[in-house]
């Protein structure tokens, strides 16, 4: 029970990596506050935890809304007493060059992928300061460290996530708040599959290409959840400001 007596707030926890992380954190003893814009998906994740004896709540949240973030954090504190772990996981991708990208999609990508982290950290960090510790995990990407094709807004947002993570780690390290980010490679989620549709590529072809890396497969949501668990737990007590690459060797080079 590596997260016993802790509370985690996870955004985008209705599906994919967020859901896998919520379920894993609950198995490791954490109470889990689930934030997602999808009511049905968020409720399903919460039910999957509570029906197995865990503690969870769901709050429908538009993570780009300051009011929604404030309400979600306040309810989490009211029901669980603290927030020890914040996993800023919610994100979107729009596959387009700057010539193809609309201003609306650029702004939406920045609001969901980056503004949300500022808003959630602004609400959560004061509570971590009161309790004397905390772990914040931000979802970046391999494309926050290296550019990718037809993903200008996504790459820009995820590169910014890497650096806001480092800035937060510098600002709050002396207050015993650790801040790290995850940089996954292609992971088998609904968002990844949506990229095939955006690019007009057959899904089977797109997924096969995603598996061409040294380990010979794409990631699973559970792969990334395990890395999040490491950063959330005391096993990473001397780790802050890190960008942890979890990509099957994709950034290391060709297989």
The 10s digit of each residue's pLDDT in 139-148 is 999 999 999 9
**Across the chain, what does the average pLDDT equal?**
97
Topology classification of domain 7-184+220-241? Rossmann fold (3.40.50)
Q: Residue 25 to residues 18, 85, 214, 221: CA-CA distances in angstroms?
A: 10, 10, 29, 13
DSSP state of 145: T
Among 43, 119, 45, residue whose Cα is nearest residue 86:
119
Neighbours of 89 (CB within 10 A): 27
- pTM to 2 decimal places: 0.98
> How high is the pLDDT of residue 218?
97
Per-residue pLDDT band at 63 (split at 50, 70, 90)? very high
Our answer to whether residue 154 is catalytic in this structure is yes
**Domain ranges in the chain with CATH number 3.40.50.720:** 7-184+220-241
> How high is the pLDDT of residue 156?
98
Q: Which of 58, 80, 87, 154 is catalytic?
A: 154
The 10s digit of each residue's pLDDT in 154-210 is 999 999 999 999 999 999 999 999 999 999 999 999 999 999 999 999 999 999 999
12: left (phi over 0), alpha (psi -120 to 50) or beta: left
Per-residue pLDDT band at 255 (split at 50, 70, 90)? low
């Amino acid at each position: 029970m590596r997260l016993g007596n802790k509370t985690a707030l996870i955004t985008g926890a209705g599906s994919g990596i967020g859901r896998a992380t919520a379920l894993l954190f609950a198995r490791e003893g954490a109470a889990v506050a689930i934030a997602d814009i999808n009511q049905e998906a968020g409720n399903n994740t919460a039910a999957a935890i509570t029906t197995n004896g865990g503690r969870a709540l769901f709050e429908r949240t538009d993570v780009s809304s300051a009011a929604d973030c404030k309400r979600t954090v306040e309810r989490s504190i009211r029901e669980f007493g603290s927030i020890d772990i914040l996993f800023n996981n919610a994100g979107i991708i729009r596959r387009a060059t700057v010539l193809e990208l609309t201003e609306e999609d650029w702004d939406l990508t920045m609001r969901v992928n980056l503004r949300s982290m500022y808003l959630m950290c602004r609400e959560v960090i004061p509570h971590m300061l009161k309790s004397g510790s905390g772990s914040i995990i931000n979802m970046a990407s391999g494309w926050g460290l290296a550019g990718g094709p037809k993903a200008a807004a996504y790459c820009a947002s995820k590169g910014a996530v890497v650096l806001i993570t480092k800035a937060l780690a510098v600002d709050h390290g002396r207050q015993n708040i650790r801040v790290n980010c995850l940089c996954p490679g292609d992971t088998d989620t609904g968002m990844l599959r949506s990229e095939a549709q955006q690019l007009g590529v057959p899904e089977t072809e797109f997924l096969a290409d995603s598996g061409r890396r040294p380990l010979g497969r794409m990631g699973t949501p559970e792969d990334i959840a395990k890395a999040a668990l490491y950063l959330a737990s005391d096993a990473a007590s001397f780790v802050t400001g890190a960008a942890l690459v979890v990509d099957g060797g994709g950034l290391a080079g060709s297989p």
